[in-house]
Structure 1
């Protein structure tokens, strides 16, 4: 199978589900190495497809054009991580990513795509059950999130709730 056909099949898999699909699963289905899948996803992204690489796998952000986005600056303790994320989804938002500004490496971004409390629970469990630490540990709890919601009003409500809890520091950018 040539690369173009394989990339069409990858898009087909991603279009069929709203849940992340692991690179391992795709490599088994297409009978290629996981590295080939990583390269194909990079080529698809370069072609304009909004494919997110989350801790749970790849997901096609099919609603990207319909959502309002805002980058916010937040700070909290590790114990407040789950509450911060739940505050966003409980008020109609999604957490697309986490971003830190590192003094040596510059901007580091981790795709999250957390939409529900279940997604957050799985993410927090992974944080708690691995030796890896969240990016916020590199910056004493200060980090940014790209959040999405169906309207600017929902984004405003999310910011208001984060501010009430003392997590919100600033709005960085709005799309």
Structure 2
């Protein structure tokens, strides 16, 4: 399959799927290596395709112009063993965690898309961190990090802030 045709097919697959699709899955569907998919994704991103790379796979991000969706960035800090509790606190209040961002003294801002919608997503994320024995991104900044969270209204975002503050995670 020619590269242009394959990249068009990748967009079609990601557009049809509501859940992330892994590079391995895309490679299997398209009969190429995972490395070819990684290169194709990079080329697609260079042509302004908004493809997010999450810990579960690739998502085609389509901006939804819903005036009811509100976003807020929370600055937080906690211990490693509190990651799951922090994520669950946010989703239990009705939030959707879009990313994690750290401000590194040397590298500047480092952001990673998370797309955590539920306790199951939060648990899967923590399991992946443990499975691959990786260090959380906040290790680079002494635990301080930011989450962009979206919710249906400001009241939900306020409740998330209150709960994070009660647990001592929120930094003002």
What TM-score comes out, normalization by structure 2 length?
A: 0.88
Corresponding residue for residue 27 of structure 1: 27
What are the within-5 Å matches in structure 2 for residues 137-148 of structure 1? 137-148=139-150
* 1:101-147 alpha-carbon deviations (Å, 9 max, x no partner): 11121111122111111111111111222221111122221111111
Corresponding residue for residue 163 of structure 1: 165
Corresponding residue for residue 116 of structure 1: 118
| 79-88 or 57-66: bigger deviation | 57-66
What are the within-5 Å matches in structure 2 for residues 1-175 of structure 1? 1-62=1-62, 64-66=64-66, 67-170=69-172
Deviant stretches of 4+, over 4 Å: none
| 144-153 or 31-40: bigger deviation | 31-40
Q: Which runs of 5+ in 1 are unaligned?
A: 171-175
Q: How far apart are the structure 1 equivalents of 2:64 and 2:73?
A: 15
Name the structure with the higher strand share. 1
Q: Which runs of 5+ in 2 are unaligned?
A: none
* 1:8-57 alpha-carbon deviations (Å, 9 max, x no partner): 21122112222211111112211223233223223333444332101111
What TM-score comes out, normalization by structure 1 length?
A: 0.86
* 1:150-174 alpha-carbon deviations (Å, 9 max, x no partner): 223322221122112111114xxxx
Counterpart of 2:135 in 1: which secondary structure? coil
